[in-house]
Structure 1
């Protein structure tokens, strides 16, 4: 027995999701330059008129992709975050969280967009309203994993994000020997700073 028929709004939402998924996959496979309206249409398997109904221009499509990538990055952080069964127990958890998020496809797609935006004014306009949101939200969520009693926690989280992002980007073209040692050394540094904070009364 067939299920209830979907409404036009539900069908439209499904099609939009399929188009954004296709655009996301295009970004990962071929980069920003290859993520054209035609390529997305072909990958999504829809008529050109259908795509243009949802995204009349490539700029509109890219704006939708930007929002989609932001949500994917935040979803990764939520998935990797603490649970009742396994709450975070140390700064090591913070480092592991940030490092795993940097390895995610969502970050790879975000990197494609951010680099392209340097010379694409329309894409930059689409990114700017969301840039502060992603930076602020990521920082806030990661800081929640850290020692809330330590007043230095927000700054140490920022150091962690910046250091690990740089380490990751340095190995984009080819993995660099010693990167894992850098990650482990930073964990040790954070543990030592945390111990210092406890023994000094967090002065």
Structure 2
């Protein structure tokens, strides 16, 4: 009887084919982001990604026929997770300007991480690749739209203010500029630059609220 129950438990823990396929696909997508960061778009290969994911080259090709398909899917996956995390735990502050700055801080943390580094690699690759550029443009638009929706959720009035949208576009451009500089600067220099930049963004946000 005990052996029968143990057999049933083992059987119940077996993953379905759909679950195994989903797990393999997720492993490939996560490995893609890691490999883009480590090797760069021009140097990374589908074989490297498959090895990092712990799957065979044939299994990788079954899910994604080309490297371009794989890296775009990997960034789609990472972008979607970022937006989902923001929606699940949106930033809040006691005042409107503090809520806006809490979102700015979250955006900074997001861009100062592996996903944005991988996205930069795709930006560089897309400069001479029109097809890849089309995907990069779409991913950037999805991320920007998602952030705007979350800001509207946590600070409903801000984007409707005369300068609200321009402040957020400025903040996003400034964040990306500082992060790009971090690729060739020391941590100390980057931290100092972000401190100054954040202060300027805070003044812009407060001014936009105060002038409305």
Query: Same fold by TM (over 0.5)?
Result: yes
**Per the alignment, do residues 122 and 189 of structure 1 end up closer, same or farther by CA in structure 2, a change over 3 Å counting?**
closer
Q: 1:163: which partner in 2?
A: 174
Q: How many residues were matched structurally?
A: 194
Asked if 1:15 is matched to 2:24, the reply is yes
Deviates more, 1:165-174 or 1:143-152: 143-152
1:49-86 CA distance string (max 9 Å, x none): 1111111222221231231232133245346623xxx5
Question: What's the RMSD between the two structures over aligned residues?
Answer: 2.5
Deviates more, 1:150-159 or 1:23-32: 150-159
8 Å CA contact retained: 1:101, 1:107: yes
Offset at residue 141 of structure 1 (A): 2.0
**TM-score (structure 2 length as normaliser):** 0.78
Q: Return the offset for 1:11.
A: 0.9
Aligned with residue 33 of structure 1, among 42, 63, 78? 42
* In 2, Cα distance between equivalents of 1:157 and 1:105: 22
Distance in structure 1 (CA, Å) of the matches to 2:174 and 2:138: 25
Structure 2, gaps ≥5 residues long? 1-8
Query: Following the alignment from structure 2 to structure 1, what is the Cα–Cα distance between the partners of residues 82 and 121?
Result: 14
Which deviates further from its counterpart, 46-55 or 100-109? 100-109
- In structure 1, distance between residues paired with 2:109 and 2:94: 15
Secondary structure at 1:40 match in 2: helix
Higher helix share: 2
